Amino acid sequence: MDAQHCKMNGDPFQESMYIEESSNKNGVISLIFSLKEEVGALAKVLRTFEEKGINLTHIESRPSRLNKDEYEFFINLEGKNVPALDKIIKSLRNDIGVTVHELSRTKKKDTVPWFPRSIQELDRFANHILSYGAELDADHPGFKDPVYRARRKEFADIAYNYKHGQPIPQVTYTEEERKTWGIVFRELKSLYPTHACYEHNHVFPLLEKYCGYREDNIPQLEDVSKFLQTCTGFRLRPVAGLLSSRDFLAGLAFRVFHSTQYIRHASKPMYTPEPDICHELLGHVPLFADPSFAQFSQEIGLASLGAPDDFIEKLATVYWFTVEFGLCKEGDSLKAYGAGLLSSFGELKYCLSGKPEIQPLVLDKTPVQKYSVTEFQPIYYVAESFKDAKEKLRKFAQMIPRPFSVRYNPYTQRIEVLDNAKQLKNLADTINSEMGILCNALQKIK
């Protein structure tokens, strides 16, 4: 986050942001904490710093913009006694119930990486693509086609200019683009009844009915996004190319899927070296309309927030072998639910042909499995059910070394960092309210 936003600049939520900062030249550490407006409350906190030999060099206050009975304090202090400071922060959070957030410190190995706290903050990295976009690699089928390259730039410009909350711009697809879509749509649809999972086959007719899924029509992202929001709260936002694993997974935490709008080159309608709208709309979208799968996808995203780089790599691998190339059991049969399979005519047939190795989804092994991005997978992992996959993911997420837990608040569309007693009490109150509704409903259906 830039320095201007690190200051209390009028955004009522900035005070609770986790931030990875560069080393502070003067060895000064900045903290923000909030206190209830009580006699002696501030003195108690300041005494804690004094007893540990921590010198404050600056302090300022303002009324809290979140809670009317609280004040927020911004302080600078000398960073000479870091171990003592760690104990103070822990004591303030656990013993006194103070909400404390550290804004800067000399960068250490275990610094928590920045992550978005509000859905609007996805705008900050949505254009940080790693490859493709308006530029193509030399081995891309459209590399030598100036018309295709110019068309890709049009799609990239749409994504670059998009901001959260705006309607996704409508695209008028060319006759050639619709023809390419039609070939892919027709071939894949012929396989879905026998190869796709129940959830995919259940949703697909609804997409045909409400979102314009047809052989002669490429659906608009805005229409599909609205449909998903009514089903599971998931939404689409346009992206110009591939994001980093950390950024892409962070979007899932908000139930946001970064989707391309361009289509593969017409010379090879059954091949694409990158995700395109066929992959997004035929592979991913139907499963995002299923509540259980949507929750599984979001939990992968939530697990990624603030995770160290090595765990991001493991979560990305779990995503690869589940959301992209996962198989699941249906009775005595295996079916595909991964988008990479459901959008590839060749690999959808291959994965259920008996030729590749099939293993149960075990999150002790799957996160370190090597995989190919250019060839059919040599191994596929089978989930007993989406519920089973979620339970395994939750256990895996508990291993991620971060000093807090997180939850998504769908009402505010914000990530809540659970790192003090007050926040845990608020969560407990919410759960208690929901349990009351559940108990009341159970009594009425007896």
At CA 235, angle to CA 234 and CA 240, rounded to 5?
135
Q: Which residue has 């304090």 as its token pair?
A: 73
Residue 39 has which token pair?
Answer: 């006699």
Amino acid at the residue 180: T
**Annotated catalytic, 58?**
no
Catalytic residue among 284, 299, 304, 347: 284
- CA separation for the pair 37, 34 (Å, rounded): 9
Catalytic residue among 259, 343, 344, 405: 343
What is the secondary structure of 21-79 as a DSSP string? -PPPTT-EEEEEEEEES-TTHHHHHHHHHHHTTPPEEEEEEEE-SS-TTEEEEEEEEE-
**Annotated catalytic, 279?**
yes
Catalytic residue among 279, 297, 299, 347: 279
Strands 99-104 and 333-336: unpaired
**Annotated catalytic, 5?**
no
Q: How many other CB atoms are there within 10 angstroms of residue 401's CB atom?
A: 11
Residue 381 has which token pair?
Answer: 């992992």
Strands 379-383 and 357-360: parallel
Q: How many other CB atoms are there within 10 angstroms of residue 359's CB atom?
A: 15
Catalytic residue among 280, 324, 344, 347: 324
**Annotated catalytic, 324?**
yes
Catalytic residue numbers read 279, 284, 324, 343
